[in-house]
Amino acid sequence: MEKDKTRPESTLDLRVWIRLLDCAKMIEKRLRRNFEDQFGTTLPRFDIMATLDRAREGMRMGELSRALLVSNGNVTAIVRQLLDQGLVNSQPDPEDRRSAIVSLTPKGCDQFRVLAEAHHGWVREALADFSEENQQQLLALLTQLKSSIR
The span from the CA of 38 to the CA of 36, in Å, is 6
- Under the binding rule (CB under 7 A), the answer on residue 29 touching DNA is yes
Q: Residue 127: which residues within 8 A CB-CB, separation 6 or more?
A: 135
Q: Which of residues 53-112 bind DNA (CB under 7 A)?
A: 60-63, 69-81, 90, 93, 96-100
Task: Tell the smallest beta-carbon distance from residue 138 to DNA (Å).
Answer: 23
- Under the binding rule (CB under 8 A), the answer on residue 129 touching a second copy is yes
- Under the binding rule (CB under 7 A), the answer on residue 119 touching DNA is no
- Are 19 and 107 within 8 A, CB to CB? no
The span from the CA of 4 to the CA of 26, in Å, is 25
Binding residues vs a second copy (CB under 8 A): 9, 11-17, 19-29, 69, 120, 123-130, 132, 134-139, 141-146, 148-150
